[in-house]
Amino acid sequence: MAKKEEIIEAAKETAKKVAVKAAQKAVEVASEVVAEAKEALEKAAPEANAKANANAIITPEMAKIPAGPLELKWTNYKNHQKLVNPANKRRLDVIVIGTGLAGASAAASLAEMGFNVLNFCIQDSPRRAHSIAAQGGINAAKNYQNDGDSVYRLYYDTIKGGDYRAREANVYRLAEVSNNIIDQCVAQGVPFAREYGGLLDNRSFGGAQVSRTFYAKGQTGQQLLLGAYSALSRQIGKGKVKMYTRYEMLDIVLIKDENGEPRARGIIARNLVTGRIERFFAHAVVVGSGGYGNTFFLSTNAMASNGSAAMQMYRHGALFANPCYAQIHPTCIPKHGDFQSKLTLMSESLRNDGRIWVPKKLEDAKRLQAGEIKGRDIPEEDRDYYLERRYPAFGNLVPRDVASRAAKERCDKGYGVNNTGLAVFLDFSDAIQRLGKDVVAQKYGNLFQMYEKIVDENPYENPMMIFPAIHYTMGGIWVDYELQTSVKGLFCIGEANFSDHGANRLGASALMQGLADGYFVLPYTIQNYLSDQIGVPRMSTDLPEFAEAEKAVQDKIDRLMAIQGKRSVDSIHKELGLIMWDFVGMGRTAESLKTAIEKIDALKKEFWSNVYIPGEANALNNELEKALRLADFIEIGRLMAVDALHREESCGGHFREEYQTPEGEALRQDDKFSYVGCWKYMGEDKEPQLIKEPLDYEFTERKTRNYKN
Amino acid sequence: MDQYIDIKVRVWRQAGPKAQGHFETYELKHVFQGASFLEMIDILNEQLVAEHKDPVTYDHDCREGICGMCSMYVNGHPHGPDSAITTCQLHMRKFHDGETITVEPWRSRAFPVIKDLMVDRGAYDKIMQAGGFVSVNTGGVPDANAIPIPKPVADEAMDAASCIGCGACAAACKNGSAMLFVSAKVSQLALLPQGKIEAAARAKAMVAKMDELGFGNCTNTGACAAECPKSVSLANIARLNREFICAKFKD
């Protein structure tokens, strides 16, 4: 019996072993199969991805471009869009980030309509946003000068100035509402310059053959912003806008709707005085946070101007369009030392009367560089007015990108006029002779004074020295015709979006676009979105989405504070700026851009392992603020280089040295690159995906830009 | 020609609104006179950060004299010894080798210190909210050339409107009065036909808010205009008084 049992036991044991073995084998085989499948999948993925890339297209329908002829699109849109009735407006909250021309005008207009607005700015007062520093003027198609201007001509100049890389429908709308802006500002009490007859005066700006620029001395941006700030103040006083000064948005909160679609429902912001992280809910979020020119450290932007809001949108799925389109302004005061914190712009309006030149003879340039002679010592016949020579039709008033490159060309050849060899002259001696010193002083006095304070030299007696500097970013967050990003309920206005300037912005058009977006476009288009949101109740900021977003922000701050390395934030930012200027600057090549990407990747490691931030996170801490912004500038710098590398053509502010005409002019590749390059975030340290919005020119013939005849 | 100079900077340090403040003196060697005053403070802060000390907190932004953010009392003057400029436009060539430079925040009852050289100027915004505007909504306004405005009037309004709201006038005033700031806005809008309609009500509302917020009375000494970085004229105060008295008579 015992034996039988033993035999059975043994048999069971054997069977078990066999079974285990078989199972093991099966598992092995299965895992092999899985591994193979995985390998095959991995192999296939990039191809599939690449295929998806090639096919990732934004159609005019997706961009919500209205049907119909160009001049009726905006009218048609307004006639058929959905509106929100007054009773429902009261129940809807809108967050507006920024108080520049776009942000302040949008916040004021939305509040006037009846929406509840929460408006945030990083400065101590909404009046200080960097729009205030715009000097020269604002364009409009009024044709008050009877010189042949029209909405169509402003549209055409803008499209052409942008090197045919902007959307036709958007630009036409911009030109259309330009006239309303001037009316609105005059009604607010903006003291534009006037003629003796009491009517408004105009002057000329680059890229136009008409005088359509309205101005208020050399302080046009200030006066327009104070107009918008007044309108905003009125709404704050009425309680329709709740103003949060010295607050910085650190993230946007997305909450899924009943169909699982994420919608922008609020923000996480840091109170810059107390360091407290706070949560805010709204039915929609509008971002007017300006451009990202400070990626270059030295730019004409204000010290606190930054690209972090754009990066927050980008990380949540909003597309970053044409990041490589950055404008280099030809007339800035040249750099004078390593301690330099920013570059100062000299208004483009100076090119109305100032003539740009360098010496004809190299030996004169050498003596200027050595400080042996001054500009006024060089006789007329030895001066090379190179813009008038190369571009007889537009002369000193060619668009900014053309003027900047021409200055670089002369300086590269050794004709620079100051000790660094990186400057050209902007000379008023002709104008002073023709008009008299008093008239010149009346027109440009404050600019001359500004120049004299910085350079310690009198520009009435000796020509000004100028050199190009980063000034504006045409690229930005992709928006549809309604100014909505690819995230539902998230809107982007002003310089922060990519919309209207193509590859190059004309002078006096930034003010126009900021105010067009804020006063006359967004307040309409946002209603098309909000009309569907009237049933959405105000949500609690205790929701898990808010808690998670706040925790992520807190973790990032903790991580930065914990590094305790050896380098100051500014020292790393200056290094980034040099990489950008040297390799992603005025003349780019495939090689320089690849170098830039490598260097930026290395700098990112350096930043995240060796930055030193003093003080506490939960208190006022300027160094922490700067570090948070720099972390994003590093990512933007890389994205700019990636975009510039992919765009194998020269257009507007983007100049690839491989693509130029024999005369050194930008050479577009319309057959390959006539599209908006939109980048989709794919995760930390992953390459972004390219999505294209083709620019099919339906109404305007594309030409090579010609400013010669 | 600009040289390199060695200086001492005596800076007001104050950890918070309620903390006791004190002066701290720092030595800076080899400062280029072509540097702006704020770039000098940047250099000082880089030095402090390298020594793991708390950098000096101060307001600044545009650095081209227009945003009105920078607000320092330098050697006893708002925006420093040079005239008609802001601190960010002040350059080190105004100082000499071996000099000790004293830097303080605005000191005025209505502008409490937040930290070091940073103050709270929210009171100016509140005055603006009380009436510093023309009551028009966006849209539905007449053509910009519908009402001609004589050039001298427009120019005068522009001069008044050039105020940058920095607060130097109130900081310079012994009484901490905001008269120059208020009068500049009242003047700009009262001069223009668009703003005339509400001129009396505006003057009353803004003056009442100014008094409520703790600004003092006008001293008539003119320190405000002398220190104003944008040379806003005392004539604006006369115009404000006229508007204000007219408004009172109408009551």
Measured distance CA(A42)–CA(A143) in Å, rounded: 61
Instruction: Tell whether A267 is covered by a domain.
Output: no
**Looking at the partner chain, which of A200, A571, A622 has a beta carbon nearest the beta carbon of B57?**
A622
Q: How far is CA A641 from CA A94, A309, A581, A638, B122, in A?
A: 34, 20, 11, 5, 41
The verdict on a CB contact (< 8 Å) between A344 and B141 is no
Q: Read off the pLDDT of each residue in B213-217 and give the average, rounded to a whole number.
A: 96
Instruction: Tell whether A570 is covered by a domain.
Output: yes
Measured distance CA(A208)–CA(A506) in Å, rounded: 9
State the CATH number of the domain containing residue A662.
Answer: 1.20.58.100
Which phi and psi angles does A661 have, rounded to 5°? -75, 165
Is residue A265 among the annotated active site residues?
A: no
Q: Tell me the per-residue pLDDT of B80-96, one tens digit each, with 9 for 90 and over.
A: 999 999 999 999 999 99
Q: Read off the pLDDT of each residue in A130-151 and give the average, rounded to a whole number.
A: 96
Instruction: Tell whether A686 is covered by a domain.
Output: yes
Residues A466 and A567 in one domain: no
Q: How far is CA A11 from CA A7, A20, A21, A466, in A?
A: 6, 14, 15, 97
**Looking at the partner chain, which of A187, A217, A568 has a beta carbon nearest the beta carbon of B194?**
A187
Identify the CATH assignment for B4-114 out of 3.20.20.100, 3.30.499.10, 3.10.20.30, 3.40.50.20.
3.10.20.30
Q: Tell me the per-residue pLDDT of A542-580, one tens digit each, with 9 for 90 and over.
A: 999 999 999 999 999 999 999 999 999 999 999 999 999
Please, are residues A690 and A682 in contact by the beta-carbon 8 Å criterion? Answer: no
- Pairwise pLDDT comparison (A352 vs B7), residue with the higher score: B7
Residue A255 pLDDT exceeds 50 = yes
Number of domains in chain A: 2
pTM score over 0.90:
yes
Inform me whether the C-beta atom of residue A372 falls under 8 Å from chain B C-beta atoms.
no
Please name the helix (run of DSSP H) or strand (run of DSSP E) that holds residue B25, with its range, or none: strand B22-32
Give residue for tokens 């003092």: B216
Residue A363 pLDDT exceeds 80 = yes
Measured distance CA(A431)–CA(A437) in Å, rounded: 8
Q: How far is CA A323 from CA A299, A472, A497, A639, A677, in A?
A: 16, 12, 10, 7, 8
Query: Domain range for residue A578?
Result: 544-694
Q: How far is CA A294 from CA A343, A372, A577, B139, in A?
A: 11, 35, 8, 35
CA atoms within 13 A on the CB side of A353: 22
Q: Considering only alpha carbons, which residue of chain B is nearest residue A234?
A: B129
Inform me whether the C-beta atom of residue B30 falls under 8 Å from chain A C-beta atoms.
no
Residue A384 pLDDT exceeds 50 = yes
Please, are residues A374 and A462 in contact by the beta-carbon 8 Å criterion? Answer: yes
Inform me whether the C-beta atom of residue A231 falls under 8 Å from chain B C-beta atoms.
yes
Residues A687 and A549 in one domain: yes
pLDDT of residue A46: 47
Q: Which of residues 35-54 of B touch A (CB under 8 A)?
A: 35-36, 38-39, 42-43, 46, 49-50, 52-54
Inform me whether the C-beta atom of residue B121 falls under 8 Å from chain A C-beta atoms.
yes
**Looking at the partner chain, which of A182, A236, A273 has a beta carbon nearest the beta carbon of B114?**
A273
**Looking at the partner chain, which of A182, A223, A231 has a beta carbon nearest the beta carbon of B161?**
A223
Instruction: Tell whether A67 is covered by a domain.
Output: no
Measured distance CA(A247)–CA(A120) in Å, rounded: 6
Residue A501 pLDDT exceeds 50 = yes
**Looking at the partner chain, which of A198, A237, A340 has a beta carbon nearest the beta carbon of B148?**
A198
**Lowest mean pLDDT across A42-56, A225-239, A426-440, B122-136:** A42-56
Identify the band that residue B248 occupies on the pLDDT scale cut at 50, 70 and 90: confident
pLDDT of residue A359: 97
Spell out which residues of chain B touch residue A130, defining contact as CB-CB under 8 Å.
61-62, 67
Residues A450 and A342 in one domain: yes
Measured distance CA(A440)–CA(B185) in Å, rounded: 28
The verdict on a CB contact (< 8 Å) between A183 and B141 is yes
**Looking at the partner chain, which of A222, A303, A623 has a beta carbon nearest the beta carbon of B55?**
A623
Of A399, A369, A396, nearest to A385 (Cα)? A396
**CATH topology classification for B121-250:** Fumarate Reductase Iron-sulfur Protein; Chain B, domain 2 (1.10.1060)
Tell me the nearest-neighbour CA distance from A180 into chain B, angstroms.
8
Identify the band that residue B2 occupies on the pLDDT scale cut at 50, 70 and 90: confident
State the CATH number of the domain containing residue A424.
Answer: 3.90.700.10
- What is the ipTM metric for this complex? 0.98
Catalytic choice (A212, A270, A400, A668): A400
Inform me whether the C-beta atom of residue B94 falls under 8 Å from chain A C-beta atoms.
no
Of B198, B191, B194, nearest to B151 (Cα)? B191
Which phi and psi angles does A286 have, rounded to 5°? -115, 125
Residue A364 pLDDT exceeds 90 = yes
Q: Read off the pLDDT of each residue in B42-56 and give the average, rounded to a whole number.
A: 97
Map out the domains of chain B as residue ranges. 4-114, 121-250
* Neighbouring-strand partners of residue A567: A611
Spell out which residues of chain A touch residue B158, defining contact as CB-CB under 8 Å.
191, 193, 216-217, 223
Q: How far is CA A371 from CA A366, A417, B125, in A?
A: 9, 9, 48
Residue B146 pLDDT exceeds 60 = yes
Of A498, A504, A473, A476, nearest to A163 (Cα)? A504
Last residue in a domain, options A470, A487, A519 = A470
Residues in chain A: 709
The verdict on a CB contact (< 8 Å) between B36 and A336 is no
Tell me the nearest-neighbour CA distance from B248 into chain A, angstroms.
23
DSSP letter assigned to residue B4: E
| Identity of the residue numbered A209 | Q
The verdict on a CB contact (< 8 Å) between A132 and B43 is no
Instruction: Tell whether A344 is covered by a domain.
Output: yes
Residue A20 pLDDT exceeds 80 = no
The verdict on a CB contact (< 8 Å) between A234 and B133 is yes
- Pairwise pLDDT comparison (A472 vs B248), residue with the higher score: A472
| Torsion, Cα of B130, B134, B139, B140 (10° steps) | 130
Residue A49 pLDDT exceeds 70 = no
The verdict on a CB contact (< 8 Å) between B62 and A200 is no
Residues A446 and A560 in one domain: no
Interface test with B, best of A110, A186, A624 (most B CBs within 10 A): A186
The verdict on a CB contact (< 8 Å) between B66 and A219 is yes
Instruction: Tell whether A61 is covered by a domain.
Output: no
Tell me the nearest-neighbour CA distance from A288 into chain B, angstroms.
18
Measure CA of the first residue to CA of the last residue in chain B; give whole Å: 61
Distance of CA B193 to the CA centre of its chain: 27
Residues A554 and A690 in one domain: yes
Residue A638 pLDDT exceeds 50 = yes
Q: Tell me the per-residue pLDDT of A401-413, one tens digit each, with 9 for 90 and over.
A: 999 999 999 999 9
Last residue in a domain, options A417, A435, A470 = A470
Residues A551 and A664 in one domain: yes
Coil/strand/helix, residue A233? helix
Please, are residues B74 and B43 in contact by the beta-carbon 8 Å criterion? Answer: no
Residue A8 pLDDT exceeds 70 = no
Q: Read off the pLDDT of each residue in A638-664 and give the average, rounded to a whole number.
A: 96
Average pLDDT of chain A to the nearest whole number: 93
Measured distance CA(B62)–CA(A344) in Å, rounded: 9
Interface test with A, best of B18, B40, B62 (most A CBs within 10 A): B62
Inform me whether the C-beta atom of residue A612 falls under 8 Å from chain B C-beta atoms.
yes
Task: Report the share of chain A in percent with pLDDT over 70.
Answer: 93
Measured distance CA(A446)–CA(A437) in Å, rounded: 14
Coil/strand/helix, residue A680? strand
Last residue in a domain, options A440, A470, A500 = A470
Inform me whether the C-beta atom of residue B186 falls under 8 Å from chain A C-beta atoms.
no
pLDDT of residue A55: 63
Interface test with B, best of A123, A145, A181, A339 (most B CBs within 10 A): A339
**Looking at the partner chain, which of B39, B57, B61 has a beta carbon nearest the beta carbon of A339?**
B39
Q: Read off the pLDDT of each residue in A406-433 and give the average, rounded to a whole number.
A: 95
Q: Tell me the per-residue pLDDT of A665-687, one tens digit each, with 9 for 90 and over.
A: 899 999 999 999 999 999 999 99
